[in-house]
Copies of this chain bind each other. A is one copy, B any other.
Amino acid sequence: MKIDRYPQNPLVAPLDVAPSRDDFEVIGAFNAGITEYAGEILMLMRVAERPKCGDPAYCPVPVLAQVEGEWSIEVQHFRRDDPNINFNDPRVVCFPSHVLLTSISHFRLARSRDGRKFEVESVPAIMPAHASETFGIEDPRITKIGDTYYIVYKAVSSNGICQSLITTKDFKTYDRQGIVLCPENMDSMLFPEMIGGKYAMIHRPIGAMMGGPMMWVAYGDDPRHYGEHHFLIGKSTGGWDSGRVGGGAPPFRTERGWLEIYHAATPNDHYCLGGMLLDADNPHKMLAKSQKPIMEPEAPYEVKGFKDNVVFTCGALVDGDRVRIYYGAADEVMAGADMSITEILDSLDPV
């Protein structure tokens, strides 16, 4: 499989992004939703920030809180020598009964004419602002249907990881549509057309007792309510997709059916991309899939970063037979790569 990584990669890195406040630093600009609007290519990036380090004896933790009706991010401090708290994983602070995150994410727009050179806006586009978002908002996927852009994203709080929906028509005003998929769910996105008169959603629930992480497809008569859930695929028992599996870019139509560029990982968290062909009229029916990845972490910015060995897409653009895959690399930067759609389709094995 021939992959043309952009020579400009990484397209956006944390240093390119101004923090949302002076006492925070940006540690990740990644996992962006992608779309075209008003002649520009828009990346709606997940920007992860953490409080700047003050006293090294303390670990600062950002948590959204509501004061007199207004949401804002408070910084709590925990002593690093507290024997009841585990600080081993720099991403989380583990208490006996719960977990907090050491960073919090919001969404930031970056704009481009050529899809290679992006200008990052100086202020957030969407901040966490709900009880279900106290640990942040993450991994937006954008789907345009009619003149509306549907942004499905991870809302993270102590009450679990949900999928929520925000709509916009102009990327200036954003309308919150609430939680569309309850915990635990992530990696969800709408198909770019109504199918059989319904909205169709790929989502990624997890079976705690049985099932593990899985991809499912659900349908709704409107974009806010879902049912008719169908199992699509779970993790395999070996190989590149034996640790986890989940949706990637919103699927796009090909003459053979819907092509979904999805992600999967080994139990050691080696994140790759694969392709999956779904039936044109019944997209919960999988016709073919990648037996091996179409893209693996290889470039330096994919192999080494906040989380090593991760390529993870939340959006792609189709240009003739080329698919421009925009992807988060190593949970730290945004990158891009072109591939041939025909080559991807030809590489899939029927299931």
**Chain A residue total in the interface (Cβ 8 A):** 46
Given the contacts A160-B210, A206-B184, A226 and B226 also touching, CB distance less than 8 Å: yes
State which residues 190-244 of A face B: CB under 8 Å: 203, 205-211, 214, 216, 218-222, 224-231, 234, 237
Docked pose: A210 CA to B162 CA in angstroms: 11
How far, in Å, is A338 (CB) from chain B's closest CB? 34
Contact between A210 and B99 (Cβ–Cβ < 8 Å)?
yes
How far, in Å, is A18 (CB) from chain B's closest CB? 30
How far, in Å, is A306 (CB) from chain B's closest CB? 18
Judge if A310 is at the interface, Cβ distance under 8 Å: no
Q: Which stretch from A26-34, A173-181, A246-254 is at the chain B interface? A: A173-181
Judge if A182 is at the interface, Cβ distance under 8 Å: yes
Contact between B211 and A221 (Cβ–Cβ < 8 Å)?
no
Judge if A323 is at the interface, Cβ distance under 8 Å: no
Contact between A214 and B159 (Cβ–Cβ < 8 Å)?
yes
Judge if A132 is at the interface, Cβ distance under 8 Å: yes
Contact between B158 and A210 (Cβ–Cβ < 8 Å)?
yes
Q: Which listed residue (B180, B218, B220, B231) contacts A159, Cβ 8 A?
A: B231
Chain copies in the assembled complex: 2
Q: Which listed residue (B208, B216, B219, B222) contacts A206, Cβ 8 A?
A: B208
How far, in Å, is A196 (CB) from chain B's closest CB? 14
Judge if A337 is at the interface, Cβ distance under 8 Å: no
How far, in Å, is A214 (CB) from chain B's closest CB? 6
Contact between B97 and A159 (Cβ–Cβ < 8 Å)?
no
Contact between A161 and B209 (Cβ–Cβ < 8 Å)?
yes
Which of chain B's residues has its CB closest to A164's CB?
Answer: B229
Which of chain B's residues has its CB closest to A165's CB?
Answer: B227
Docked pose: A159 CA to B230 CA in angstroms: 10
How far, in Å, is A155 (CB) from chain B's closest CB? 10
Contact between A237 and B97 (Cβ–Cβ < 8 Å)?
yes
Judge if A98 is at the interface, Cβ distance under 8 Å: yes
Which of chain B's residues has its CB closest to A231's CB?
Answer: B159
The 4 closest A-B pairs by CB, nearest first: A160-B207, A160-B211, A225-B227, A225-B225
30 contacts between A and B (CB under 8 A): A99-B209, A99-B210, A135-B210, A157-B210, A158-B211, A159-B211, A160-B207, A160-B209, A161-B210, A162-B229, A178-B227, A178-B228, A178-B229, A179-B228, A180-B227, A181-B182, A182-B205, A182-B216, A183-B206, A183-B207, A184-B184, A184-B211, A219-B225, A220-B225, A221-B221, A221-B225, A224-B228, A225-B225, A225-B226, A225-B227
9 extra interchain contacts, Cβ-Cβ under 8 A, other than A182-B205, A183-B211, A224-B227? A159-B214, A161-B209, A161-B210, A182-B185, A182-B229, A183-B216, A184-B205, A221-B222, A226-B226
